[in-house]
Amino acid sequence: MKVLIVAATRHEWIPIQAQLLRQGWTLDKHGILHHKELQVATLITGVGMMAMAAQLATQYGIIRPDLSIHIGIAGSYQKNLALGSVVQVVSEQLGDLGIEEKDGSFVDAFSAGLMDRNLPPFSEGRLHNPISKLGFLPEVRGLTVNKVSGYLPHIAALTDNYDADIETMEGAAFFFVNLLHEVKFLSIKSISNYVEPRDRSAWEIDLAITNLADSIGSLLQGM
């Protein structure tokens, strides 16, 4: 089975690779990890939706994996998700694609009539993962934005307009490309911070990445 691990940054992937090597996986000269019949390649896309879409679509033009797994950290709109929690993202939405009115209000691209909210792969403006739920991780809904939210009025507008649990910068692009290319996929995220007025001192990035590495390591070991 060929698995592709997709991350925006190496910082999110390296601890997972190190853990797999400690568990007896081997790394070949091409950077592919091997364990029994499983081969795990990696794709570091860079930050943002454009980088994710371009890099992932290019990769699928070269080789199609049996399963693609998007990993990384995320901010949570929900305080009931503890920092360091690892979650499975089951749907994604675009959080800032649309138009701004003269009064400062925002109208998303679907409501503005610029896009059809039910034109595949969208369904009611969302991108859904059709793959079976893992069952052992909390299931969340993602909202993908071009800038990390840190200003309270902007955060309030997002939570008023969207029914989402977490915020990322690449999730919707990952869903979109996989759905178009009909590649099976998972999106696994770890909560590094709450979406609130920006205060990096309150973030738990190291804890989030450590817990993400544990969960992805266990997931791959069990395949």
User: Could you tell me the residue ranges of all domains in the chain?
Assistant: 2-221
| Residue 219 φ then ψ, to 5° | -60, -45
Please tell me the predicted confidence (pLDDT) of residue 223. 81
pLDDT confidence tier of residue 23, bands split at 50, 70 and 90: confident
Query: d(Cα 46, Cα 50) in Å, to the nearest integer?
Result: 9
Please tell me the predicted confidence (pLDDT) of residue 46. 96
Terminal-to-terminal C-alpha distance of the chain: 9
pLDDT confidence tier of residue 176, bands split at 50, 70 and 90: very high
Q: DSSP strand E in the chain: where? A: 2-7, 26-27, 33-35, 38-44, 67-76, 86-94, 98-100, 106-108, 127-128, 139-144, 166-168, 185-194
Quote the CATH superfamily of domain 2-221. Nucleoside phosphorylase domain (3.40.50.1580)
Residue 63, token pair as written in the block: 């080789």
Q: Is the pLDDT of residue 132 over 80?
A: no
Please tell me the predicted confidence (pLDDT) of residue 207. 96
What percentage of the chain's residues is helix, strand, coil (to nearest 5)? 30, 30, 40
Q: What is the 3-state secondary structure (H, E, C) of 118-157?
A: CCCCCECCEEECCCCCCCCCCEEEEEECCCCCCCHHHHHH
What is the mean pLDDT of the segment spanning 30-36? 91
Tell me the sheet residues that pair with 34.
26, 39
